Amino acid sequence: MEMKRRPTTNSRNAVQRYAHICGWGTSVPERVLTNHELARMVDTNDEWIVARTGISQRYIANGRETTASLGTAAAREALDIADVTPDDIDLIIVATSTPEHHFPSTASLVQDALGARNAGAFDMLAACTGFVYALSIAAQAIQAGAMNTVLVIGAETLSKIVNWEDRGTCVLFGDGAGAVVLQGSDSPGGVLASLLRSDGSGGDLLKVPAGGSAMPASYETLRDNLHTIHMNGREVFRFATRVMADACRDVVAAAGLTMDDVDVIVPHQANKRIIEAAARGLRLPIDRFAINLDRYGNTSTASIPIALCEAVSEGRIRPNDNLVLVAFGGGLTWGATVVTWDVTPKATVTGLHKMRRQALYSVARMRSIVRRGARAIEGTIWGAQAPDGIEPPHREKD
């Protein structure tokens, strides 16, 4: 069985680079919302939610817990395990459907909170498939030799865009974040292959209609609840069951493996029945899938990294295991990645280790405050004066 690619050399005699996951972490809000509590808010009940989705509870962010703060906390955990400092990071990608703003990107806010002074940062919008997209792009940047250390985060506060009066959607979603650190290495393995797909003709099936340039915020959009998730659940269900198994099969073949070589599948945690359908489609036992949606609900881009981290901490994922990460979501989008889990954690995270890191983050916070202050002073000194060579705009008189 050919499990891993061997190092090869290209025409310039450079050793091929591989992108390995070397750190992982999660963060969820403090507050748990159970099905029983939901049943007091909308016309639903625990039996229906468990039977139709598999979900029993989800985490809900409070006012202080945001997409950036959850993403930053998950990232710090991942950096600890990877024994990577913020200055080592070349790029931060935050996959999210609930960014803090249209801009600045949530990734830039995370970059500032971490004090990652040498990193580029951007958000990835591919709905629930975002983490798989981001992981694939990150791996390719490393494999191409352009980057060495990339932080990939899936972070969501979906509770802020859920219509809490719509029982068809509000029972499904939860908040949380998961992160991985990818690093380049000459040793074969890591991210082996990815498959990314989209079918925009199904865009209307799962969308937040207003708040973008197509439908800017107005009194009417607020009145009609158009800033919340609108979904045709049955159609999304049908689409998901169609694409999950095919995506797994195709990406595993692209990695030069067979389904027998796959040890664990980490699917997007949307609905247990969708995962069961994928298992049937692949003729695999359900215990080959990492499932934790009963406790988290659907956390969109965060669902795969959270499930991955749990499977690692439970010992379900072991060194040299081949994993398939597979997701689907709004867009419509879907995608899958094959990863060989072949890097053991570099660092044992001790108290001292944590304190040293904490000091780094405190310095980052101070640096950010000083920068903001300096910018404000600069603005006051220079006032309305235009930068050299740029004339202030003027309006023609009517």
Which of 171, 182, 84, 168 has its CA nearest to residue 131?
182
* Cβ-based nearer residue to ligand UT7, 189 or 267: 267
Which of 274, 362, 250, 346 has its CA nearest to residue 24?
346
* Cβ-based nearer residue to ligand UT7, 89 or 172: 172
Task: Judge whether 170 counts as a catalytic residue.
Answer: no
CB environment 84-120: b (16+ within 10 A), e (fewer): bebebbbbbbbbbbbbbeeeebbbbbbbbbbbbeebb
Binding residues for ligand UT7 restricted to 38-67, rule: CB under 6 A = 44, 48-49, 52-53
d(CA 162, CA 186): 45
- Catalytic hit among 128, 170, 248, 309: 128
Q: Which stretch binds ligand UT7 (CB under 6 A): 130-138, 229-237, 241-249, 286-294?
A: 229-237
* Cβ-based nearer residue to ligand UT7, 209 or 345: 209
Residue 125: CB atoms within 10 A of its CB come to 16
- Catalytic hit among 35, 271, 292, 298: 298
Q: Which two tokens stand for residue 378?
A: 């600069």
Q: Looking at beta carbons, which residue is closest to ligand UT7?
A: 233
Residue 171 contacts ligand UT7 per CB under 6 A: yes
d(CA 335, CA 364): 35
Q: Which two tokens stand for residue 205?
A: 């099936």
d(CA 41, CA 227): 20
Binding residues for ligand UT7 restricted to 120-159, rule: CB under 6 A = 128
Residue 81: CB atoms within 10 A of its CB come to 22
* Cβ-based nearer residue to ligand UT7, 128 or 210: 128
> Using CB under 6 A, which of 125, 237, 250, 276 touches ligand UT7?
237
Q: Which stretch binds ligand UT7 (CB under 6 A): 26-34, 118-126, 166-174, 217-225?
A: 166-174
* Cβ-based nearer residue to ligand UT7, 128 or 137: 128
* Cβ-based nearer residue to ligand UT7, 244 or 252: 244
Q: Is 344 helix (H, G, I), strand (E, B) or coil?
A: coil
- 128, 97 Cβ separation under 8 angstroms: yes
d(CA 366, CA 369): 5
> Using CB under 6 A, which of 25, 54, 130, 329 touches ligand UT7?
329
> Using CB under 6 A, which of 132, 150, 182, 236 touches ligand UT7?
236
> Using CB under 6 A, which of 4, 20, 58, 167 touches ligand UT7?
167
- Catalytic hit among 35, 170, 248, 268: 268
- 184, 147 Cβ separation under 8 angstroms: yes
Task: Judge whether 45 counts as a catalytic residue.
Answer: no
One-letter amino acid at 199 equals D
Give 26's strand partners: 178
Smallest distance, ligand UT7 to C-beta of residue 339, A: 21
Smallest distance, ligand UT7 to C-beta of residue 113, A: 27
Binding residues for ligand UT7 restricted to 177-216, rule: CB under 6 A = none
Smallest distance, ligand UT7 to C-beta of residue 232, A: 8
Smallest distance, ligand UT7 to C-beta of residue 350, A: 38
User: Is-cis flag, bond preceding 188, omega within 30?
Assistant: no
* Cβ-based nearer residue to ligand UT7, 236 or 324: 236
For CA atoms 58, 63, 64, 70, the dihedral sign is positive
Smallest distance, ligand UT7 to C-beta of residue 327, A: 8
Binding residues for ligand UT7 restricted to 265-324, rule: CB under 6 A = 270-271, 298
Task: Judge whether 22 counts as a catalytic residue.
Answer: no
- Dihedral over alpha carbons 306, 152, 326, 201 (to 10 degrees): 120
CB environment 137-153: b (16+ within 10 A), e (fewer): bbbebbbeeebbbbbbb
Binding residues with ligand UT7: total (CB under 6 A)? 19
* Cβ-based nearer residue to ligand UT7, 168 or 256: 168
Q: Which two tokens stand for residue 275?
A: 């995962």
Q: Which two tokens stand for residue 397?
A: 């008189």
Smallest distance, ligand UT7 to C-beta of residue 4, A: 32
* Interacting residue ranges for ligand UT7, rule: CB under 6 A: 44, 48-49, 52-53, 128, 167-168, 171, 231, 233-234, 236-237, 240, 270-271, 298, 329
Which residues are designated catalytic? 128, 268, 298
